[in-house]
Amino acid sequence: MVSKNNSLNVTSTTAGQVLQSGGTASPPSYSTATYPTTAGTSGKILISDGTNIVSSTPTYPNASATSGKIIISDGTNFIASTATHPNTTTTGDVIYASASNVYSNLAIGATAGQFLASNGLNPFWFSNTQNILMRDDFFSNYAVSDIGFTGNGGGSGGILNPDTTNSSNIHPGVWSIYSSSAFANRSMNTGIVFYFGGGAIIADFVAKIPILSNVTNRVDFYIGFTDGSSPPGTTANIYFHYRDNLNSGNWVLITSSSGSTTTVNTSTAVDTNWHKYTITINSDATLVTFYIDNVSVGTSSTNISTSSGSGASFQSVNNGASDGTQMLLCADLFSYYQALTTAR
């Protein structure tokens, strides 16, 4: 080849070399590295293998895709991500999935000491003025628990605090109540401190019934929120109810308000194992959902009190038949979370 000024012949020595400018002061020359002689497969790009320039093994997208998508590997090729990502961040932001395939920014909490919590869908910064979180593991060895459970009742029976027989390394800190005579009633209750309709609520009660109700020892067991009566009245209640000759021994779900009651019969049989009984109440108290071990067993949308308060409760009430057996209801945990609609 003859250079522009007809003063230099530039000769390629290896197939695939390309002619490169030497700038204004030097003549052009062929590259040391070689380049592919064909375009290769659609989507491949030019990349160095450490010696020469070659077509990449993976392919890359040829279109820009949706705004916010990034390039990721699918294990074979590079593709545009399904999820979208923020384009900017601020110091302290937490990146989280705010919806399916959507990553978003959560700004750092406004108040020092706030901790990151979950509402079951998304993370948020816990606020003492808008969020309530309490729990009782029943580790106390006294008549008053960590958050105010006390034993109440009449007739033969009592409260075991702690119940060393039913406590274990899996279920530490168990309290139990029992009735052991005809028409006796025993309960563990908080004060009438819970009100519904001012924000979404999630409440967990971990409990077990070691001996099921039967014709010889017929007992009603109640787990949930009650109006302070034993057995519960009809003022302001949301609870699980069991007796062996009620709904074929399956759990019954109750909501009651101002003298009216809604009853939901489930097909879930009661057994003698530990279970987590969960009650969720939506923000305006128009829907209650009952769960056992995170599986919904029923809902109620009527007779949910928004005016009268309730207490968290575990109750054992003898229905009239007893041979003196201690009919226990064991409590391992109570936890309560509420996101107030209006901050205090």
* Ramachandran angles phi, psi of 248, nearest 5°: 55, 30
pLDDT at 220: 96
Q: What DSSP state is assigned to residue 42?
A: T
Contact between 117 and 107 (Cβ < 8 Å):
no
CA distance 255 to 188: 19
CB count, 10 Å around CB of 199?
A: 21
- Using the predicted structure, report yes or no on whether residue 59 has a pLDDT greater than 80: yes
Per-residue model confidence (pLDDT) at position 24: 85
39 pLDDT more than 90: no
Helix, strand, coil percentages (3-state) for the chain, rounded to 5, are: 0, 45, 55
Quote the CA–CA distance of 91 and 73 in Å, as a whole number: 28
- Half-sphere exposure (Cβ direction) of 194: Cα atoms closer than 13 Å: 33
* C-alpha count within 13 angstroms, C-beta hemisphere, residue 73: 4
Cα torsion for 241, 245, 249, 252, to the nearest 10°?
A: -30
Rg of the chain in Å (alpha carbons): 34
> Is the Cβ–Cβ distance between 331 and 240 less than 8 Å?
no
Specify the pLDDT at position 240: 98
All structural domains of the chain with their residue ranges: 1-57, 59-108, 131-340
> b/e string for 75-94 if b means 16 or more Cβ within 10 A?
eeeebbbeebeeeeeeeeee
> What integer pLDDT is reported at residue 5 of this predicted model?
53
Average pLDDT (221-228) is: 95
Give the number of other Cβ atoms within 10 Å of residue 64's Cβ: 8
Among the listed residues 172, 324, 169, 152, the one whose alpha carbon sits nearest the alpha carbon of residue 231: 152
131-340 maps to CATH 3.10.290.10: no
Bridge-based pairing of strands 102-106 and 94-99 is antiparallel
Of 2-6, 12-16, 163-167, minimum mean pLDDT range: 2-6
The conformational region for residue 6 under phi > 0 = left, psi -120 to 50 = alpha, else beta, is left
Residue environment code for 164-190, b if the CB has 16+ CB neighbours within 10 A, otherwise e: eebbeeebebbbbbbbbebebbbbbbb
**pLDDT over 70 percentage in the chain:** 96
What's the CA gap between 22 and 25, in Å, rounded? 7
Distance CA 221, CA 209 (A): 8
* The pLDDT of residue 69 is above 60: yes
Average pLDDT over residues 85-109: 94
| Structure confidence at residue 316 (pLDDT) | 93
Confidence of residue 41 (pLDDT cuts 50, 70, 90): confident
295-319 confidence digits (pLDDT tens)? 999 999 999 999 999 999 999 999 9
Residues 110-162 have pLDDT tens digits of: 888 899 998 878 999 999 999 999 999 988 876 667 788 888 888 888 888 78
Q: Report yes or no: 201 and 280 within 8 Å, Cβ to Cβ.
A: yes
Q: Please state, in angstroms and as integers, the Cα–Cα distance from residue 220 to each residue in 190, 204, 213, 298, following that order.
A: 19, 20, 7, 20
pLDDT, position 142: 67
Quick check: pTM over 0.85? no
pLDDT of residue 143: 60
